[in-house]
Amino acid sequence: MKRRDFIQTTCKCALLCASPVLLSTLQSCEDVEADSSSTDIIPPIDTPSDTTSTGGNDSGGDTTPFYAIDLSTADYQSLQTVGNSVATPSNTADPSGLILYRSSDTTVRAFSRYCTHAGGSVGSFVNGTARCSSHGAQFDTSGNVVGGPARSALKEYLTSLDGTLLKVFYAES
């Protein structure tokens, strides 16, 4: 057998042997396409957001997270009167808690209870002054230091008040 004849014969054999495999592969591809065309399209699911602690702010409509407090509940009812103050426990806005102060008919201010001296816990405003229980620093109703050893003001949060719904806006770290 000449070299040319040998190559021709070998190629024919190889082609005949491979044909069932090729046909089966092509058949499999057709099956997949046929199956995918009959698959139902599942529409995306809308997930409702948690409106108790996050949402857009009232001025810009963006998604600044907020901590919501209902001032009609027993713990916060006193904040419906101008001049009153409440200190909250730890919450999603501030792990040290908040000092809330009703400064006018339309505004409740919110400060962190975290003392700027050494991280002690600052209480609510009494006669216009909030006092740290650790070393006695004092802060006025704008959060400014009026008595050492603290040197810088309390952190203040933006708030909005709609009826009895108070929102304290905070930036997540």
Q: Which residues bind ligand FES (CB under 6 A)?
A: 115, 117-120, 132, 134-137, 149-150
Cβ closer to ligand FES: 79 or 154?
A: 154
Q: How far from 71 is each of 44, 130, 139, 142, 170, CA to CA, in Å?
A: 38, 21, 24, 21, 19
CB of residue 79 to ligand FES, shortest distance in Å: 24
Cis check for the bond before 65: say yes or no (omega within 30 of 0). no
CB of residue 166 to ligand FES, shortest distance in Å: 26
Q: How far apart are CA 115 and CA 148, in angstroms?
A: 11
The tokens of 125 are what?
Answer: 């405003």
CB of residue 64 to ligand FES, shortest distance in Å: 29
Q: How far apart are CA 147 and CA 128, in angstroms?
A: 13
Cβ closer to ligand FES: 102 or 117?
A: 117
Cβ closer to ligand FES: 69 or 132?
A: 132
CB of residue 123 to ligand FES, shortest distance in Å: 11
Cβ closer to ligand FES: 71 or 132?
A: 132
The tokens of 107 are what?
Answer: 């505004």
